[in-house]
Each structure stands twice: as C-alpha cells, then as structure tokens.
Amino acid sequence: MAAVALHALPRALADHEVRETVRAAAEALAERQGVKLVHLWIDADGLEAELEGPPLVAMGFAAELRTTTTRWAVHRGLGELWRS
C-alpha cells in the first residue's frame, strides 16, 4: 500500500464541481493504469490517495493526475490547481 498527496492552491478546489472532476479523473486514471485506488479523500485543501502497490506507482499516479487535472483546469480558464 502507498499513499500520495497533492496540495491545492488556495480556493482552487473550493468548488464542488471541480472536486468531483478531480475525483472522476483519479478514478479513471486508476482504472486505465490497472491500479487499485483503495481510498481517495478530496477537500478544499487538496487530495490524498491510497493505492495498492509500491510507492513508485503512487508517485507516478500523482504526477499523471496532477498533469491531467492541470490541463483540464487551465483549458477551462480556472488556472493552476496544485501547489508546487
């Protein structure tokens, strides 16, 4: 089991629709990669995901989720979601 966290910029995940889109993206990514997403917590401050597998898998998952959701948010005019 491995856990990762992404920390949101202030107010970036305040909107329920944005959080649900991030949730859907995380679930779809896990399914595409064949990774079991054990737990996913999302709130206005960011997200934490617990996955079955080694830490390297979790890091790759977080990196891809960050890239995908940033692309979506920027395209919609929302700007960046995640802190550096």
CA distance linking residue 36 with residue 75, whole number of Å: 28
For position 54, which CATH number holds? 3.30.70.1290
pLDDT at 77: 96
The answer to whether residue 84 sits within a structural domain is: no
Q: How far apart are CA 71 and CA 83, in angstroms?
A: 15
What is the value of pTM for the model shown? 0.94
User: Position of tokens 């491995």?
Assistant: 2
Structure tokens at 25: 């993206």
Residue 81 lies in a domain: no
- Per the structure, the count of domains in the chain is 1
Q: Answer yes or no: is 51 within a domain.
A: yes
Decide if 13 is inside a domain: yes
Q: Which residue is associated with the tokens 């890091």? A: 59
Q: What is the pLDDT of residue 51?
A: 98
Instruction: Tell me, yes or no, whether 83 lies in a domain.
Output: no
58 found inside a domain: yes
Domain of 10?
Answer: 2-75
Per the DSSP assignment, residues forming a β-bridge with 53 are none
The answer to whether residue 82 sits within a structural domain is no
